[in-house]
Structure formats: structure tokens, C-alpha cells
Amino acid sequence: MIPIRFIAVGVGPGDPDLITVKALKVIEKADLVLTPVPGVGRASVADAIIRAHLEIETIPVVFPMIRDEKARDDRLREQLENLRPRWEGAESVALPVIGDSALYATAAYLYDVWKALLPSIQLELVPGVSAHSLAGARAGRFLALGATIFSVVPGTARPDAIVEALRHCDSAALYKPSALKDLRAAVESAGPWSEVLRVDRGGLPDERVVRGDAALSAPDEYLSTLLLRR
């Protein structure tokens, strides 16, 4: 029996034009395409990206936006069991994810739960354009050159760990800054910075670019990237 290939496909940060040709080919050829959504009836950014290019059936999978890992995994396991008639016997299942498939991708949670149910499942990753790459393009500058130390830091980490990471780099991209309780205090304590820029909902029709001090105001947007440079 041929094991199922679970393919996490990076589809870029939001702009449909930034999805790769390979990503489209893989999604189009997959036996089953699942799309991540934050809640029942909620829209999927990844799904909107692929629908700008392909007319295919997709099945939403809810990824609860919670810190309780057990509750999250239980919800994913329940959905996989309900979908078992669809994926049993399939050779490939694709899950498009925004950004890059190897960087903070929700696909990892689904894969871990799925592998516990089906140890023979195989993982494949298709890279995509990252949010910080788009943010750098919006800033109109290179993120790092030569010996520059560039760091990618998650806003979901401990505040002290975030500050420590920022202190030891020349340039940084802070993902999910809305998750950091006191964004301004953390960034300023790790400064000084010659440039501060935040991109909210990068690549989407309602994209917003905020520069300077205003970029450190508490963002309420989950799809947000903060760029910092010494």
C-alpha cells in the first residue's frame, strides 16, 4: 500500500501573484486539498490565494487559535477522523499555508496529529514567499547584507526572550507583534533602531504599512510583521 504524502504548500503572504508555479502544480495534482481556517465559517487566506488561479474542491480544517495544545490537537484529531473516508486511499493530500511552509506553519500541528493516527504518512514541504520578504519589499530595502545578523523572532515567545534575541541582531522581523503584551517596551529596550516599519495584512487588498513610532502602537492584526533595523 502506498503511504499518503502530506504536502504542506507555502502559497506566499497574501498576494495571489506571489504564489509559486510549483505550489500551483502540487495543489492541482493533489488527490485532496485541505485549507486552514481560524473558525467555522471563517474565510481562509490560503484558500483565496489558490482560488485566484485554480477551480478545485477544497475542504476547510479549523485550526483553533488557542494556546492549549491538547485542546487544539483534540480538535484536529476529531476533524481528521471525520474526514477519514476522504483521505483513506489517497496518495497525496495538500494543505496550502500562507507564507513559507517551513516557518511557523500551522501544517506542523496537523502533521503531528495525523502521524499519530497514521505512522506511515510522509511529509513534504513546498517553500513559499515569507511575510518578512514582502515586508522588506514594501520597505524598499534589503533585509541583510554581508555580515549583517538578521533574526526572525516570534511575538508569541516570552517577552524576555524576545528582547534578548533583538539585542543580538542588526536587523529583525518580528512575527505576530500583536501577541506581545507591551510591544513598545520590548522593542525600545532592545534598541536603538534607525528604522521601524510594520506591515499589516501584507499582500492583501487592505494591506497597511505603518512607519516610525506609530508602528510600535499595539496592533490588533494577527497577520502583521514588524521590521527593525539598527
Any idea what DSSP says for residue 174?
E
Enter the C-alpha cell of residue 156: 508569541
Cα–Cα distance between 229 and 195 in angstroms, integer? 5
Contact 183, 218 (CB under 8 A): yes
* Percent helix, percent strand, percent coil in the chain, to nearest 5: 35, 25, 40
Contact 134, 204 (CB under 8 A): no
Enter the C-alpha cell of residue 56: 478545485
Q: Could you tell me the domains of the chain?
A: 5-126 (3.40.1010.10), 131-229 (3.30.950.10)
Cα–Cα distance between 144 and 89 in angstroms, integer? 46
User: Which candidate, 226, 227, 222, places its Cα nearest to that of 204?
Assistant: 222
DSSP letter string, 63-93: ----S-HHHHHHHHHHHHHHTHHHHTT-SEE
Question: Is 135 in a helix, a strand, or coil?
Answer: helix
Q: What is the pLDDT of residues 211-225, one digit of tens each?
A: 999 999 877 888 899
71 by Cβ neighbours in 10 Å (0-12 / 13-18 / 19+) ranks as exposed
Cα–Cα distance between 165 and 22 in angstroms, integer? 34
Cα distance from N-terminal residue to C-terminal residue, the chain: 55
Cα–Cα distance between 197 and 84 in angstroms, integer? 44
pLDDT at 134: 93
In tens digits, the chain (230 residues) has pLDDT values of 678 999 999 999 999 999 999 999 999 999 999 999 987 777 899 999 999 999 999 999 999 877 789 999 999 999 999 999 999 989 999 999 999 999 999 999 999 999 999 999 999 999 999 999 999 998 888 999 999 999 999 999 999 999 999 999 999 999 999 988 899 999 999 989 999 999 999 888 899 999 999 999 877 888 899 999 99
Contact 92, 4 (CB under 8 A): yes
CA within 13 Å, CB half, 110: 28
**Percent of the chain at pLDDT exceeding 90:** 82
User: Which candidate, 146, 164, 136, places its Cα nearest to that of 229?
Assistant: 136
| Pairing of β 224-229 and β 195-200 | antiparallel
Q: What is the pLDDT of residues 186-207, one digit of tens each?
A: 999 998 999 999 999 988 889 9
Please state whether 156 falls in left (phi above 0), alpha (psi between -120 and 50) or beta: alpha
Enter the C-alpha cell of residue 159: 517577552
